[in-house]
A and B are shown apart, each in its own frame.
Chain A
Amino acid sequence: MTRKFKLFLLFPGLILLAGCWDQQETGEIALVMGMGIDKTEENLYRVSYQIVNPGQVAGGKTGQGQGTAVTTYSETGGTIFETVRKISKKVPRMLSFSHTVVLIVGEDLAKEEGLARILDFSERYYDFRSTALVLVARAGQARPILSILSPLERIPAMKIQETVQKTEQVWGETPQRNINDVVQTLSSKSKGLALAGISLVGNMKEGQTSANNQQAIPNTLVKINGLALFKDGKLNSWLDEEEARGVAWVQNKIKKTVLTSKCKENKGDMAVEVMRTSTHVKPKVEQGKPEITITIRGEGHLEEITCPADLTNPKVIFKLNNTFESNIKQEVIAAVEVAQKHKNDVFGFGEAINRANPKEWKQMKKQWEDKFANMDVQVNVDFFIRGTGLRKQPIILQEK
């Protein structure tokens, strides 16, 4: 073989290197950012896909036309994957799930059928990522929520994702749970599931037009709303505000949050920003009776105070600490009581007992629901205000 011939042999390689067998040009795929699943009256799934309109999202002035940044398409079918392909009748491109960030489940579906069936596809399909967040459409269906356009973030699905993230980071009431987390808790029989709820505020029709984004106060928006508790994979009850945050306290999921309290004699209010919290759940089994001790530690800064309190006096600060400690304790106890009422171990106490006392756990595993409902839960809270911000004293120091 001459040198030239050998070189010539390299050329077929160029063809092979140029692309792969299942190449998909970007012009042929439709990026699904959000996905919603509802149940229709005929007992089929109605799956909605929020798809990006690339021309509207592209940067620069030329890219932004008059259209909307996303379009939501729906299709019904007996299985999810069926709709993924059947939607080709409406969408001229192949759906691509590699950027899907939220999966919204209609309340009826969550209540009646649960999540186990609809998650199989998203876990199994090669293109889908288990990092997509799962939310429950509170008092409604997933489809309208996906169809609402949003200001600030052109792609509504990303707006939802970021809202959930921010809520978890600074408010702590609702957790971020992705598909993987959900499947983990669903498969573990001893643990209930808690997911963030989402609901629509305002008029749906108006929210679907880009005019919604052109107003200083949008007519329609979606907001994170409450905590959905699941039992045996099915939606069981909703928690709000303090109760929902109580669940997060127990699960050690509070990153930052704000606690408010009335001052003594109702002379005003105060708010602290809580950070650096940690929760330890310590199980104990005595004579077949399970017990849980929850120890919470946290610190924070006083950010607002509207009552006369001498903040330069450490003893006053200690008293404020106590007030907030009992605040946190109340939230936790409220959450525990609700969970016990529904016999729904959302905190994973069962697993904690299994980890600490595997032998005793094997014996009580079968009657766990009842044991959980009647068990003793002790809550200890240590909270410390570390600083008072840029001012040493409140404006209203002397009460006349």
Chain B
Amino acid sequence: MEKVKISGGQLFILMFLFELGTAIVIGPGLGAEKDAWLAVLLGLISGMILFLVYYALYRLYPDQPLTGYAKKILGKYIGSVIGIVYLFYFIYIASRDLRDFGELLTASTYTYTPMFVINAFMILAVAYVLFLGIEVLARTGEIFFFLLMLIGVVGTILVLVSGMIEVHNLLPILENGWGPVLQAWPTTYTFPFGEMVAFTVLLPYLNRPNLGLRVGLSAMSFSGILLMWVVAMEVAVLSVYVATRSTFPLLSAIGLVNMTGFFQRLDVVVVLTLIIGGFFKIAVFFYAALISATEVFRVSKYTRLIFPFSIVILLSSMTVANNYAGHIQEGLEISTYYASLPFQTGIPLLLLVIALIRRYFKNR
């Protein structure tokens, strides 16, 4: 771990950018069709409850990342195994996010550029900022946060003013009952809200530990509400038929903006959003992987691992799926149930229960 501290505000911004990250472009919860926003709301609420687990673990071991306290709770050997699997998990998700990023850019603007080139440049930028340390990442976040907010506010105003929102596209609410919403719920819960598990590694850097809960929950609810608005807007603008068929619904929706023939072709705004969000998402997962590795393998300086890890993430982002369909199917089915649920919910919950039991017996 580095010997630096980040402020509550910086952590908030990192969490916010991380949560929006790739999710805002891909449109989570559209499996629930018209009620996608409800699926996001359910995901948000359950994700916030899950964050309480991470926070409780953090308060029990305020100066250690997840892979550190896993060893304390479960013993050296099992703890190390847990650390290694988390290392793989973080790398896996980082490479999935890198793939998302490359897919959108190649599908929308850089049609004839090999995805490898795009991904390589992205990982280069991420590796560079991580080389400079978490504090620099946090400060970079501050700059981009305001840029992203500006884009968001302007984009929202343009969408509202150009009169594309057809509220009746969202009605009737719960057309087919709660079934589809509940079916889509695991995907919105794990992506993006459950991915907060990466912050179990970053929380120890917080300069005032008692702020952790407030910062985490507010960042989640702020970004969650924004995601709800975005998904609802996508359905309202595109109608459920087009939105569910779109590879990147936000891109299709914003592309329709045409205000007085002057403000139009705003697709680039979406691409910019993705680049900013994707950058922070990949960076946080990458960083979580680096810190996990230093904990498990007792490497003195994590910067030594950046180069090999970059190569691993870059290459796995290329090999993680054959095509976009495979990539998304893996994300919705395999990754949700076999990777995300155990790593985001199962193991942390188990760790907390065991830690509390141990503490209880120790105190007696």
Residues of A bordering B, CB below 8 Å: 20-22, 98, 126-127, 129-131, 178, 180, 183-184, 187-188, 351, 354-356, 358
Contact = CB atoms under 8 A, between A and B. Distances in A.
Interface of B: 107-114, 117, 168, 171-172, 175, 238-239, 241-242, 245, 252, 255-256, 258, 264-265
A21 B265 contact: no
> Nearest 4 CB-CB pairs, A to B?
A187-B241, A21-B113, A22-B112, A184-B239
Contacts of A127: 111
Contacts of B242: 180, 183-184, 187
Given A131-B255, A131-B256, A355 B111 contact: no
Given A126-B107, A126-B109, A131-B264, A354 B175 contact: yes
A297 B322 CA distance: 57
B111 A129 contact: no
Contacts of A129: 255, 265
Contacts of A183: 241-242
Nearest to B175: A358
B107 A130 contact: no
Contacts, number: 52
A203 to B, nearest CB: 33
Most buried by A among B108, B112, B114: B112
Contacts of A188: 239, 241
Given A180-B238, A355-B168, A358-B175, A126 B265 contact: no
A22 B108 CA distance: 12
A75 to B, nearest CB: 21
Contacts of A187: 239, 241-242, 245
Contacts of A178: 256
7 contacts: A20-B110, A21-B112, A21-B114, A129-B265, A183-B242, A187-B239, A358-B172
B261 to A, nearest CB: 9
A187 to B, nearest CB: 3
A21 B175 contact: no
Contacts of B113: 20-22
B172 A355 contact: yes
Nearest to B166: A184
A230 B306 CA distance: 59
A267 to B, nearest CB: 43
Contacts of A21: 110, 112-114, 117
Contacts of A351: 168
B269 to A, nearest CB: 15
Contacts of B108: 126
Nearest to B257: A131
A126 B175 CA distance: 33
